[in-house]
Amino acid sequence: MCQDHATPSGPSEPKQHEDDGDRSEPFPWDAGVFDAHCHPTDTMSSIQLIPNMQARCLTIMATRSQDQHLVAQVAGSHAVTSRDELDVKDGSAKLVPAFGWHPWFSHQLFDDTVAQPSYNPPESSEDDEAAVRAAKKAHYQAVLAPSPEDAGFIDSLPIPLSISTFTKATRENLSKHPLALVGEVGLDKAFRLPRQWNADDAASRDDALTPGGREGRLLSPQRVAVPHQQAILKAQLALAGEMGRAVSLHGVQGHGVLFDTVSSCWKGHEHRPTPRRQRRLVAPGAEDDDDDEIDDEKPSVGGKPYPPRICLHSYSGGVEVLKQWFHPTVPAKIFVSFSTAINLGTDTSRSKFNDVVKAVPENRILVESDLHTAGDAMDGYLEDMYRRVCHIRGWQLKDGVARIRRNYEEFIFG
C-alpha cells in the first residue's frame, strides 16, 4: 500500500534516475499493460477516469472497513469476467477486485476464534456504555504496543469487528466476483498508527478522500503487535486457500517473519523434489515448465489451507529472503510485483532494486502502480516501471510487456 496513499496533493510524476534505459522508444500500450496492485477507491472521484486510461486492467485492493463496499461497487461496473475480455481494445480499462484487511488496520479486528478473545463486550451494548468502553480499551491495550493509556486516543478508535464477521462478508464478496483476489493482506513491523484527529484538522480534511487513511496526521508511538497481525493474516490466507484465490501480500521490515507465517499454512503440503535418478527416467519435454523436478500434486485450485498463488507486492526485501519463496518445495506459485512509488521511493530500496529484479524468475514478474488515484498518473507510473524492468532484464520493450502480460494472466486466472 502506497505510503502516500492519503496525501491530498496526489502523486507526483516518477523521478528519473541514471541507467533507466532508452525512453525515446514509443511505449507499446496496445500489447496490454496491467497494474497488479493499486488503490483508486481511496480517491473515488478518480474512478471516472478509469475508462480513459491506457492500462488494460487494474487490480484494485480493499484494505479496511471503509473501502470494502467501494471496491465491490466499482467492480460491479468495471470488473473483468473472463480472460477473453483482456483482449478487447475498446479504450476502457477494466479491473479485478481484491477484498482484504490490511495490516495497518488489523488492530480494528479481533480474533473471536480463540478461547479468550481480546474484545469481550457485554451482551447488550446499549445498556452499558461504560462496559463497552472498558472492553474496547482492553482490546486495544492487548493488541497495540506500547499499550496505549491515552483515553482520547482509544476513544478515537472504532469498536473492533470480529474476524468471523469480516471473513463471512469477504467470502460473500469473493463469491460474487469469481476472479477476485484476497488482498491487501500481510505484515508490517514499521507502521505506526496515526494520532486522532484534532478539531482543526478534522474540519479541514479533504472529503474527496475515503476515510480511514493517515491523511497527513502525526504518528502515535503505537504499532500493531506482530502476533495479532499474524492471526488476522492467517485467517485470510485460510479463506484464500478455501476458495482457491490468489493473494496480494504486503510485507515491510519483517520479511523473514512474513515468510514463516505464510509457509506455516502449507506445512505438510510441501512439494517433494524428484530424486536425480528418477529424473533421468523422465522423457525429454515431459516435465511441467512451472513445476520442474517435482513429483507430487500440482498446487490446488481450491480447498487447501494455503493460497494457490501469491504476489509479493512492491517487494522490498533482499535477494536472500526472496530465495525462500522460490524454493522447490513451496507449493504455491509465487509472483513478485514492483512499483516506482515503493521500490524507488528511498535510497535503500533503490540500492537493491536491480539485483532483486534480476533474481525473480522471468515468468513470475509483475508490475504495479500502488497509487491511490486512477488516471494519467497511474498510467505514467506503470509505464515507468515497465520500462525499468525491461531494461534491467535486457528485454526488448514490446517483448517484455508481452511477457509481463502472460505473467499477470497466470496470476489472475491460474
CA 198 to chain centre: 30
Residue 61's SS3 state is: strand
Confidence (pLDDT) at 286: 47
Residue 12 maps to a domain: no
Domain count, the chain: 1
Question: Does some domain include residue 148?
Answer: yes
Residue 46 lies in a domain: no
Spatial contact of 183 and 237, defined as CB atoms under 8 Å apart: no
The answer to whether residue 63 is domain-embedded is no
| Residue 82 included in any domain | no
9 torsion bin: left (phi>0), alpha (psi -120 to 50), beta (else): alpha
Residue 248 one-letter amino acid: S
Q: Quick check: bond before 368 cis, omega within 30?
A: no
How far is Cα 247 from Cα 184, in angstroms, rounded to an integer?
Answer: 8
Residue 172 lies in a domain: yes
CB 52, CB 78: distance < 8 Å: no
pTM over 0.85: yes
Question: Residue 264: inside a domain, yes or no?
Answer: yes
Domain membership flag for residue 64: no
Could you list the residue range(s) of the whole structural domain that residue 332 is in?
Answer: 104-114+132-270+302-413
The amino acid at residue 252 is V
Per-residue pLDDT of the chain (414 residues; tens, 9 = 90+): 754 444 434 556 676 655 566 788 999 999 999 999 999 999 999 999 999 999 999 999 999 999 999 999 999 988 999 999 888 877 677 999 999 999 999 999 999 999 999 999 887 656 688 899 999 999 999 999 999 999 999 999 999 999 999 999 999 999 999 999 999 999 999 999 999 988 777 777 888 999 999 998 999 999 999 999 999 999 999 999 999 999 999 999 999 999 999 999 999 999 987 666 555 554 555 444 444 444 444 444 458 999 999 999 999 999 999 999 999 999 999 999 999 999 999 999 999 999 999 999 999 999 999 999 999 999 999 999 999 999 999 999 999 999 999 999 999 999
